[in-house]
Amino acid sequence: MEVREAISRFRACRSFHGRPLEPDVLERILQAGRRAPSSKNLQRWHFVVCTDREHLTQLAAVGPFAGHVAGAAAAVALVTPEADEAWDRESIAFDLGQCAENMMLTAFELGVGSVHGTVYEQELARELLGLPDGFRCRYLISLGYPAEPDALTRPLRKGGRKPFEDLVHRERWSRRRPTRRGTASRSPSTSASAPRT
């Protein structure tokens, strides 16, 4: 599968089959996360891999939208160092996003469904994952073979993404504004002589 195809066809999967992930499949997903780019190549991440059913059920309580973890074949807790400065937290979050995307796209290529969940209950996560001081888990990634066989292959629903023209600006921020149908119209303040974008 080409990268472009994986990106365009990817969709989140929140319902999983009971089949466990083969060790080599799980390792390929983790290796993809390890290979992600990071600021100054600091690689500020650790992965706590959870496959025990009771443990997964407990982890599902770390956030109101993490219920899918209970049914997953595996969950990967993305653990990063604490950061005091806002710029450092943003840098870590950016790196972690690339790491998560690598894992999820690799999972998709292998026929494995995935979805991320945000951790709200930090103390519970710290206890369940045995995290040392100075580290926290911001997100979990649920992994598993989809409960529905065609969950990763059926056609995507139309309208799932904003129109390209509403998001992409050339050289400078354009003065177009999106309309209800997603087509761009020019602001009344834009002069007729203004360059088209």
72-105 pLDDT per residue, tens: 999 999 999 999 999 999 999 999 999 999 999 9
Using one digit for the tens of pLDDT, what is the confidence trace for 16-32? 998 999 999 999 999 99
- Contact predicate 74/80, CB 8 Å: no
In-domain check, residue 157: no
Count of domains observed in the chain: 2
In-domain check, residue 76: yes
| 15 and 100 both lie in a single domain | yes
Neighbours of 170 (CB within 10 A): 9
In-domain check, residue 44: yes
| 110 and 62 both lie in a single domain | yes
Is 194 a residue whose pLDDT tops 70? no
Looking up tokens 């911001």, which residue turns up? 138
* Alpha-carbon gap, residue 197 to 193, rounded angstroms: 12
In-domain check, residue 150: no
pLDDT of residue 138: 94
Range of the domain at 169: 162-197
Q: What's the predicted TM-score (pTM) here?
A: 0.85
pLDDT of residue 190: 39
| 134 and 178 both lie in a single domain | no
In-domain check, residue 108: yes
Using one digit for the tens of pLDDT, what is the confidence trace for 121-173? 999 999 999 999 999 999 999 999 999 988 888 888 887 888 998 899 999 99
